[in-house]
Amino acid sequence: MKLVFIGPPGAGKGTQAASVGKKYGIPHISTGEILRQEIANKTDLGRQAEELISAGLLVPDDVMVGIIKNRLAMPDCEQGFLLDGFPRTIQQAEELARFVDLDVVLNLDIPAEKIVRRISSRRMCRDCGRIVSGNDHAKNACPECGGELFQRDDDTEETVRSRIAVYETQTKPLLAYYREKGKLVNLDGDRPVEEVFSDICGVLEQYKSI
Residues in touch with ligand AMP (CB under 6 A) = 9, 30-32, 35, 52-53, 56-59, 64, 85-86, 88, 92, 154, 163
Min CB(41)–ligand AMP separation in Å: 15
Min CB(153)–ligand AMP separation in Å: 10
Q: Tell me which of 152, 172, 183, 191 is the catalytic residue.
A: 152
Answer yes or no: 122 catalytic.
yes
Please say which residue, 2 or 88, places its beta carbon nearer to ligand AMP: 88
Give a three-class secondary structure readout of 60-74: CHHHHHHHHHHHHCC
Answer yes or no: 47 catalytic.
no
Answer yes or no: 117 catalytic.
no
Distance CA 82, CA 105 (A): 10
Please say which residue, 18 or 53, places its beta carbon nearer to ligand AMP: 53
Task: Tell me the chain's radius of gyration from C-alpha atoms.
Answer: 16
Between helix 90-99 and helix 61-72 the angle, nearest 10°, is 30
Decide: 141 and 128 in contact? Cβ < 8 Å. Answer: no
Which of 138, 127, 106 shows the shortest CA–CA distance to 21? 106
Answer yes or no: 88 catalytic.
yes
The Cβ of residue 160 has, within 10 Å, a number of other Cβ atoms equal to 21
Please say which residue, 35 or 82, places its beta carbon nearer to ligand AMP: 35
Residue type, 97: A
Min CB(68)–ligand AMP separation in Å: 8
Q: Tell me which of 2, 122, 123, 130 is the catalytic residue.
A: 122
Give the H/E segment covering residue 194.
helix 193-209
Min CB(116)–ligand AMP separation in Å: 14
> What residue is closest to ligand AMP based on CB?
32
Catalytic residues: 13, 88, 122, 152, 163
